Amino acid sequence: MVIAEAPAGASFRVVRVMTGKEVGKRLADMGFTEGAEGAVVRGGFLRGPFQIRIRGYDLLIRRSEAAEIEVEPIGDWSAARDAARNRRGHWVNGHGCDGRGGDE
Partner 1 sequence: MKPINGATVGGRVVRVALAGNPNAGKTSLFNALTGAHHKVGNYPGVTVEKLEGSRFRGETEYRFIDLPGIYSLTAYSIDEVVARDFLLDERPDLIVDVLDSTNLERNLFLCLQFQELGIPVVGALNMSDEAEAKGVRIDDRALSSLLGLRMVRTVGTKGSGVDGLLDAIDAAVGEGAPALKSIHYGEELESHIDPLQTSLALDAAFSSRYPSRWLAVKLIEKDENAFSRLSEHEAGAGIAAEAREASAWLERHFGKDAEIIVSEQRYAYIHGAVRESVKLVKKPSFSVTEAVDDVIMNRFLAIPVFILVLWGVFKLTFSLGAYPQGWLESFFAWLGGAFASALPEGLVRSVLVDGIIAGVGSVFSFVPLIVILFLLLSVLEDLGYMSRAAFATDKALHAFGLHGQSVFPMMLGFGCSVPAIMAARTLKSRRDRIVTILVIPFMSCGAKLPVYVLLAAAFFPRNPTGAVMGIYAIGVVLSLLVALVFKRTILRGDPTPFVMELPPYRAPTLSGVLWHVWEKTASYLKKMGTVIMAASILVWAITTFPAYEPTAAESATLDGAALAELSMEHSAAGAIGKFIEPVFRPIGFDWKLSVATITGFAAKEVIVSTLGILYSAPESDEGGGGRLSAALRADPDWSPLLAFVLMLFTLTIPPCLAAMATIKAELGWKWLGFEFLFLLSVGWLLCFAVFQIGGALGAGVGT
The footprint of partner 1 (CB under 8 A) covers 16-17, 19-31, 33-34, 36, 42-49, 51, 55-62, 64-65, 88-91, 93, 98, 100-104
For residue 51, the minimal CB distance to partner 1 (Å) is 6
For residue 39, the minimal CB distance to partner 1 (Å) is 12
Three-state SS string over the chain comes to CEHHHCCCCCEEEEEEECCCHHHHHHHHHCCCCCCCEEEEEEEECCCEEEEEEECCEEEEECHHHHCCEEEEEECCHHHHHHHHHHHCCCCCCCCCCCCCCCCC
For residue 19, the minimal CB distance to partner 1 (Å) is 8
Of residues 12 and 65, the one with the C-beta less far from partner 1:
65
